[in-house]
Amino acid sequence: MSSPLQPSIAPWLSVADGARALAYYTDAFGAVERYRFEDDGRVVVAQVAVGPADFWLQEEPGARGAAGPVRMILTVEDPDAVFASALAAGATEVFPVSDDHGWHVGRLEDPFGHHWEVGRPLASG
């Protein structure tokens, strides 16, 4: 008997180049591919995870993310290292990692136009 499916929410990002996006998220955040659907050699849809946090990407030619109403926040133990890795993989810094509003956090734009805040809560004391 299987256990009941637990509700979850996973972002779905539109990208112009699925293979390039998979490579970027792997290099930048250490993402692991969980599922991939290809068509004629193109990565059409993929599910990836950073630790236990899943998200999806879909190749849509001409797609460009925007700093619109949705931003991603990636909570990690070492925001400085992950932020530096994302920059080295091709992201653009929006604001540097610093302590603000109870978080050690920075914001970047990935090569596909999506904004990510990379951080961790500051220890309360």
Distance CA 108, CA 116 (A): 5
Tokens of 66: 């925007």
Which residue is it, tokens 């992201």? 91
Domain ranges of the chain: 12-121
| pLDDT tens by residue, the chain, 125 residues | 677 877 778 899 989 899 999 999 999 999 999 999 999 988 999 999 999 999 999 998 777 766 566 789 999 999 999 999 999 999 999 999 999 889 999 999 999 999 999 999 998 75
DSSP single-letter state for residue 59: E
What are the angstrom distances between the C-alpha of 70 and each of 2, 12, 41, 49, 96? 34, 11, 30, 18, 19
pLDDT at 48: 96
pTM for the model stands at 0.84
Give the homologous superfamily in CATH for domain 12-121: 2,3-Dihydroxybiphenyl 1,2-Dioxygenase, domain 1 (3.10.180.10)
What are the angstrom distances between the C-alpha of 71 and each of 13, 65, 74, 105? 11, 10, 10, 13
